Structure 1
């Protein structure tokens, strides 16, 4: 038999208008999840502040995880595996779409060539000869 107090519907103490349960501290399921998340983030951030005050930070590098990118052609979505071609526009293409004309590449090759030549070849001009 169930106790009457356990099944009694109480208004949520969070003030949202729903009904809470005694198991969830008189909170509805939404307010309870929200309070648990706030409590867990508060616990997660407390040790960092204490550690920074009492101990110097360790010099061990933290390995950041890179998101896994699927290696597919930007045009036909075919898997390219190890044979994918990276374009200067930043996308990866298969063998048939690797050329800029095939995938309508927005990268300006002419301008990049001009800039490369301008930095590599400096203009050394001598003064004009004066005739007597």
Structure 2
């Protein structure tokens, strides 16, 4: 008898986990991705292609007149200033690693309060650190925004 190697048959390879660590199995046909991750990647590539085409059209349209290019440069300057302020805010938040009440250093176990302060695991609840944040009004406001009042039109009497 001929062995399976001589005939050309082979046992399937061991299953390979998806390269995106989503706990599903991938295959070599889908670049070791599961079907969902592959579909997401294809959609993402299509969106990037659309954005690139749209930005190329914008660049061509802006280069047609000098006034528009000056406005674009001013817009870029404003956008870069906004970006710089956002980066400084993020860096200031990253620098906050001390426990607010006792100025004790907390590393990865710190909890952020609604006011933006940082607390340890013992003082992370609002009643432990006397937080003045009004949770009741905040919840009422979010519920009111999520559920607007809808009134039906009144019917004319016959």
The alignment's TM-score, normalised by the length of structure 1, stands at 0.45
When you count helix as a share of all residues, which structure comes out higher?
Answer: 2
Higher relative contact order (CA 8 A, sep 6+): 1
Q: Which structure is larger by alpha-carbon Rg, 1 or 2?
A: 1
The alignment's TM-score, normalised by the length of structure 2, stands at 0.38
